Structure 1
């Protein structure tokens, strides 16, 4: 048996090759699967469950089929792009929403999973913005705005975020090691699995010897990656994203 983790697909109508890669993943990776964890940023932008696009509906259909046909639980942790995904879409997709930091028992190993944006403390501008946009009152007000206006706001934020990201250095986009240590100690876990930084790989946690490590599941672009955990190993697997 195995458990799968993915993150940072950033699906959108402008990247049909990624959508096809995701559907191929669901078609191929459904044997002996205990659970699928999606660690945020499944979509490039999300402005509310009341928006309906062919992409959103098709993704929901594929996920619900994956769950119902193969009896595979699907768990979702919000990303920084799609933190507004709500209970309505989660139900439509047969996904169970999880809190931003969540502990699981992964084949006798205690593991902490998250999207990973809260690890990047050096990105002070983003952390300030995150506190604002995660305010429940502001989210309620945003959801009360007309859908057309929310779309404009969402894509403006996306465009600004992409422009700033191009100029950020790796030490800003990367994780803050002291925060990794702190969270692993607080949650008493030996492994952290996350996304967000797009720096795929397995890393020893500084100051913790070989006892603790973190794994960045990686983003989807020219190739995609996912983490496969079994009772005997936890590894990152890569597959090509084929052009259309």
Structure 2
């Protein structure tokens, strides 16, 4: 469904921002020739060459996306958080996981895998070994989620208010929590919107559209569905 989106709907926009967890796993830019990865990279390159400006920040599943991916796909890798200023409004974009402070186990994992030394050690391993490690990490993560009444931790409220304050009360857009919604925060007496992105599945995706006046959600459905 993403190939349909990037080949059609996305090209009607000037820019596209992808806020992490774009790939289920990404074990290094040397895996770019995998048939699935190659198809996605090719589609991104075609859209970029057609004039769509695409930016991507890392998620907790694809934190190893690097310069070779960027060169091959035409996608610009951006820092997290990223301040997006338009002529009409200001946004701050993030994957969102850095504010899930109440999930201490995940925060420990995040600290480990974002460490440059840990990443360098992993990337030095053979591709097959990295695939096995990634599969094991996903299995452990999914098993842990099954054991929880609510497997998805939301952003910590106090940390989120501090984040909004630090970024000038800009409209906050993020993913990670699997809980799509629009939240209204009052920080220092100022109303701030926080938009949470939805997951993409085979039967449905979703994007946020900025038309110069307001954000709105748009469903992305397979071509054979109304």
TM-score by length of 1: 0.85
1:180–1:205 contact (8 Å) kept in structure 2? no
> Is the Cα contact below 8 Å between 1:177 and 1:206 reproduced in 2?
no
**Can you list the C-alpha shifts for 1:75-126, whole angstroms capped at 9, x where unaligned?**
0100100000111011111010111111011342121101111121111100
Separation in 2 of the partners of 1:68 and 1:239? 23
Mind listing any 5+ residue stretches in structure 1 that lack a counterpart?
Answer: 1-20
Q: Which residue in the other structure is 1:139 paired with?
A: 119
Q: Corresponding residue for 1:193?
A: 173
**Is the 8 Å Cα contact of residues 88 and 213 (structure 2) preserved in structure 1?**
no
**Which residue of 1 is the match for residue 210 of structure 2?**
229
Partner of 1:238: 219
Q: Is the 8 A contact 1:107 1:230 kept in 2?
A: no
Matching residue of 1:106 = 86
Shift of 1:210: 6.5
- CA–CA distance in structure 2, aligned partners of residues 153 and 171 of structure 1: 22
**Structure 2 partner of 1:27:** 7
Moved more, 163-172 or 186-195: 163-172
Task: Considering Cα pairs closer than 8 Å and 6+ residues apart, tell me whether 1 or 2 has the greater RCO.
Answer: 1
- Relative to the length of structure 2, the TM-score reads 0.92
RMSD of Structure 2 on Structure 1 (CA): 2.0
CA contact (8 A) 2:48 2:54 kept: yes
Verify the 8 A CA contact 1:78 1:85 in the aligned structure 2: yes
Aligned pair partner of 1:180 in 135, 160, 181? 160
Unaligned runs of 5+ in 2: none
Shift of 1:207: 4.7
